Amino acid sequence: MAIQKKVQIKNRKARFEYEILDTYTAGIVLRGTEIKAIREGKASIAESFCEFSNGELFVINMTVQEYSHATHFNHNPKSERKLLLNRSELKKLEKEVKNTGLTIIPLLLFTNEKGLAKMEIALCKGKKQYDKRESIKDRDTKRDLSRIKKSFNN
């Protein structure tokens, strides 16, 4: 298992299931074996979401597989992890979630140039079924247009 230079783990369903209103970049509090497993690309944010607890933001249901070279000091794969944001951003997000019923969903888990793990989170509103059908329709028309352009260029 070679360690990757840049790690980018995406939540592919998020943009289809939710309408994204605002995005933020947050740091994550991790243990040593967790960051090593993330650098190997052994993490998933597909079913994860963010929740407030005592004025702090936590990511719930994020899976970081156990690090293969660790001893009995390994981490719990599904534990909740604290997200680091500015106090003003936290208050704004908490107010939006409580007042308007929006949710906070992780979009991307990545490592920056310093090797630190960061998470791009978004303030989202759930899409209705007809909105999802509209997204599928838009995606299909874009695909068809790109095929037509490609055939004209050749």
Q: What's the CATH number where 20 sits? A: 2.40.280.10
Q: Tell me whether residue 152 is in a domain.
A: no
Q: Tell me whether residue 112 is in a domain.
A: yes
pTM of the predicted model as reported, rounded to 2 decimal places: 0.77
Q: In whole angstroms, what is the distance from residue 30 CA to residue 25 CA?
A: 16
C-alpha dihedral, 54 to 120 to 61 to 46, nearest 10°: 160
Domain count, the chain: 1
Over the stretch 75-118, which tens digit does the pLDDT of each residue have?
Answer: 777 888 899 999 999 999 999 898 888 899 999 999 888 888 99
Q: Tell me whether residue 1 is in a domain.
A: no
Q: Tell me whether residue 90 is in a domain.
A: yes
pLDDT confidence of residue 2 = 52
pLDDT confidence of residue 128 = 83
pLDDT confidence of residue 71 = 67
Over the stretch 4-35, which tens digit does the pLDDT of each residue have?
Answer: 578 888 988 888 888 899 999 999 998 888 88
Q: Tell me whether residue 137 is in a domain.
A: no
The band of 60, judged by pLDDT with boundaries at 50, 70 and 90, is: very high
Q: What is the largest CA-CA distance in the chain?
A: 60
The CA-to-CA distance between both ends of the chain, in Å, stands at: 41
Q: In whole angstroms, what is the distance from residue 125 CA to residue 86 CA?
A: 22
Q: Tell me whether residue 20 is in a domain.
A: yes
Over the stretch 119-151, which tens digit does the pLDDT of each residue have?
Answer: 999 999 888 887 888 888 989 999 999 999 888
* Residues of the domain holding 47: 8-127
Amino acid letter, residue 100: T
Q: In whole angstroms, what is the distance from residue 103 CA to residue 18 CA?
A: 9
Q: Tell me whether residue 2 is in a domain.
A: no
Q: Tell me whether residue 17 is in a domain.
A: yes
